[in-house]
Amino acid sequence: MRKVVCPGSFDPVTNGHLDIVGRAAALFDEVTIVVAINQSKAGLFSVEERLELLAEVTHHWANVRLDSFEGLLVDYCRDRGIPAIVKGLRAVSDFDYELQMAQMNRQLAGVETLFVPTSATYSYLSSSLLKEVAAHGGDVAGLVPDVVALRLRERLAGG
Ligand code: ADP
């Protein structure tokens, strides 16, 4: 069985993330979305809330699983026999850091990284920019699933 992980913060999940996950799900037998737990960075949504939103918007893919993890991603992969990481590449600015990380992960544990080029529609989209736009009242329809847009509005209104 060909397994991969799609790691990230997913604070919150965007259509850019889902584009990459969907394309990975078409290529591999099992895709695990791993929400990275970062104790020093609170985020707008808790890890549990991010997982709940991810569950709502990925349930139609039978081969997509969800998990969270704190620590080195390569340890997660090694412990579960997952040989590769799938990452979306948006722009040249993503490349330097992603290349370093990919090389480090291969050096540390032989875990490969496969880069999927972003769809042109989402090449400018990141969770952080999305939150900034939403915080200033901008329309995020088309950038996130409806349920995420709703939760964003509620959260930014103090809910
Ligand atoms: P961000 O906060 O920048 O959206 P995440 O850590 O949640 O980042 O991203 C997880 C993964 O999803 C990364 O591999 C990232 O490159 C990818 N990704 C995020 N947004 C997009 C997008 N718009 N198009 C393609 N890949 C994306």
Which protein residues are within 6 Å of ligand 1, measured from CB? 8-10, 14, 16-17, 20, 87-88, 90, 94, 118, 122, 125-128
Spatial neighbors of 9 by CB under 8 A, at least 6 apart, are 35, 36, 38, 41, 43, 50, 127
| Catalytic choice (9, 87, 127, 131) | 127
| Catalytic choice (17, 87, 131, 151) | 17
As a whole number of angstroms, the distance between CA 158 and CA 112 comes to 41
As a whole number of angstroms, the distance between CA 91 and CA 84 comes to 21
Cβ atoms of 147 and 57 closer than 8 Å: yes
| Domains of the chain, each with CATH number or no CATH | 3-157 (3.40.50.620)
| Distance of alpha carbon 55 from the chain centroid | 13
Q: List pLDDT tens digits, range 103-124.
A: 999 999 999 999 999 999 999 9
Q: How far is the CA of 120 from the centre of ligand 1 (A)?
A: 14
DSSP β-ladder status, 84-89 and 112-117: parallel
pTM: 0.95
Q: List pLDDT tens digits, range 23-67.
A: 999 999 999 999 999 988 889 999 999 999 999 999 999 999 999
Mutate to test the pocket of ligand 1, among 20, 31, 99, 140 (most ligand atoms within 8 A of CB): 20
Cβ atoms of 31 and 1 closer than 8 Å: no
- Reported as a pLDDT band with limits 50, 70 and 90, residue 128 is very high
